[in-house]
Structure 1
């Protein structure tokens, strides 16, 4: 039971720019570009000086076409 709970906690944790870039298989520069672009509006949350992400929010954004090339 503890192993399953631990896995669920890891899945629900906040991810860094580096981690979300690795998850999406893109460069960190691409993540920052998506964050700075009004038309892309990647779902990120500023925590102090750092950006943090919830995996499920990013998954929904990608499925809605937010990361598609050429989208304006």
Structure 2
């Protein structure tokens, strides 16, 4: 099971893992420096890098913008 934890995740995988849409992930890559790596035309992710980015508040800005009253 450890080898699955260390594999590169696709956009679809990371969306499922985080519970967000493809559009959200692409926006985070473009505007919030989400840790992602280009492999040809595809984006790939390391789960531990994404977890660290979220824990550091990387996704917080987009959540705040969307939660206005």
Q: Same fold (TM over 0.5)?
A: yes
Higher-Rg member (1/2): 1
Match of 1:27 in 2: 21
Q: Report the TM-score, using the length of structure 2 for normalisation.
A: 0.87
CA-based RMSD: 1.1
* Count of residues in Structure 1 that have an aligned counterpart in Structure 2: 63
More strand by share: 2
Q: Report the TM-score, using the length of structure 1 for normalisation.
A: 0.83
Gaps of 5+ in 1: 1-6
Segments of 4+ in structure 1 off by > 3 A? Answer: none
Shift of 1:32: 0.4
Match of 1:43 in 2: 35
Shift of 1:36: 1.2
Match of 1:14 in 2: 8
Match of 2:58 in 1: 66
Shift of 1:70: 3.0
More helix by share: 2
